Amino acid sequence: MISPFDLNLRHLRALTAIMAHGTMNAAAHAVHMSQPALTQGLAKLERQLGAALFDRRPDGVVPTAAGTLMAARAAAAFEHLAAAMRGAARRGGRGFARPEQLMTASQLQAFLALADAGSFVGAAGVTGVSQPALHRATRELEQVCGVALAERRGRGVVLTAAGRALARGVRLAAREIGAGIAELSGEEESGVIAVGAMPLSRALLLPRAIATFVGGSPRALVDVVEGSWRELVEPLRDGVIDLMIGALRDETPQGLEQHPLFTDRLVVIGRAGHPLASMPDPGLDDLARFGWIVGHGNAPLRAHWDGLFAGRSPPEAPIACGSVMVIRGILVDSDLLTLLSPDQVALEVESGVLAAIGRPLEGGVRTIGITTRAGWRPTAAQRRFIGLLQSAAIETRIPENK
């Protein structure tokens, strides 16, 4: 499959003009190209995409379904670049009025490689483009934008605020164009789905959805990136990942959308055979007699633990840990307690290694769901994957009395 950077941005930009004007002559005038150049450019674009984008008729051209789809993806891509450039203008940029219209795919590919690699040497190694060519592409973009995009630091480079904004815009634009390419490929459920997996989703929900998905979409690639909400939110905004799954925020952050899947109630977890395991409803005094494994200071689980013992002296908490795998191992070999979701230790509880201590906490309710970028338009494969997540959310629910 071709890369988004293989396509000519000027020809992609012309798609909306062709749709709006209905003739190649009027569209060419609107985008400041000759009609032969635009006709040849469109023909090349159609060959690369393997699809007719317009039906040629005696009285003009009419977009096909493929043309309408690709024009919409291209328009969204250029809006991402334009938004990045509006940010540069607010930072004092003195470039052209519409710099996104002057950028080339090769310039953007070179700059994104530099942003990801952190040095011209690294970017050259990844792309196979010479360092002088990478320098030249970056300088040309800086001239178009009218603002510095990268600064030398030792042997590497550091992006300026404008550079970081442009890198984000380029990633999002490439995602849009890549989605259009995937949709026109003839394999509706091909392409890549990049998923940010927060801790709660990793035990049951996400594995169930992925296993079902790959069985029906053998040409699609699922790329799972693990992390906390704080570690995943910027990659989501940047377009590095498409969606993230886990506990939702109480208030939806700006520029994002949250889609609930189910509510989760925390439980106290200890080893099977723990002194409190046989008590149907241990009180706070009982729970305070044992040491605890807690989350780090800014983790949501730590806040729930603080709330559990609010107004009284908390028990000893000799271990602060965010790794569920490590926590499970410690619990098995000690009388320590912790707060977790039943999903996170479902297999260990079912196998008789760990046990829930008492009933789920009344105040330990979290909403688990999907977070995406606002305005994100998923491909067919991504839509099916979201549907499977919704189904898995129902199928993997654990009865509270289990």
- Cα radius of gyration (the chain): 26
Within this chain, do residues 82 and 197 fall inside the same structural domain, yes or no? no
Quote the CA–CA distance of 395 and 373 in Å, as a whole number: 26
Within this chain, do residues 59 and 207 fall inside the same structural domain, yes or no? no
Which residues lie below 8 Å from residue 40, measured CB to CB, with a gap of 6+?
Answer: none
What pLDDT is recorded for position 293?
A: 97
pLDDT band at 402 (very low <50, low <70, confident <90, very high): very low
Within this chain, do residues 103 and 157 fall inside the same structural domain, yes or no? yes
Domain that holds residue 33: 4-170
What pLDDT is recorded for position 95?
A: 59
Say whether 270 sits in a helix, a strand or coil. Answer: strand
Within this chain, do residues 385 and 331 fall inside the same structural domain, yes or no? no
Query: Is the pLDDT higher at 220 or at 68?
Result: 68
Quote the CA–CA distance of 341 and 365 in Å, as a whole number: 10
Residue 141's Cβ-side half-sphere holds a number of Cα atoms within 13 Å equal to 30
Say whether 95 sits in a helix, a strand or coil. Answer: coil
Q: Which CATH number does the domain housing residue 310 bear?
A: 3.40.190.10
Within this chain, do residues 37 and 160 fall inside the same structural domain, yes or no? yes
Region 105-128: mean pLDDT is: 92
Residue 225's H or E segment, with its range, is: strand 220-226
Within this chain, do residues 78 and 10 fall inside the same structural domain, yes or no? yes
What pLDDT is recorded for position 220?
A: 79
Six token digits for residue 126:
């990844």
Q: pTM for this one?
A: 0.82
Quote the CA–CA distance of 214 and 207 in Å, as a whole number: 11
Q: How many Cβ atoms are within 10 Å of 336's Cβ, its own excluded?
A: 20
For the segment 222-233, what is each residue's pLDDT rounded down to a tens digit?
A: 999 999 899 999
Choose the weakest-confidence range: 92-101, 120-129, 221-230, 325-334: 92-101
Report how many domains make up the chain.
3
Q: Which CATH number does the domain housing residue 128 bear?
A: 1.10.10.10
151 forms beta bridges with: 158
Within this chain, do residues 212 and 96 fall inside the same structural domain, yes or no? no
Six token digits for residue 147:
């603002």
What pLDDT is recorded for position 12?
A: 95
For the segment 247-306, what is each residue's pLDDT rounded down to a tens digit?
A: 999 899 999 999 999 998 899 999 999 999 999 899 999 999 999 999 888 778 888 899
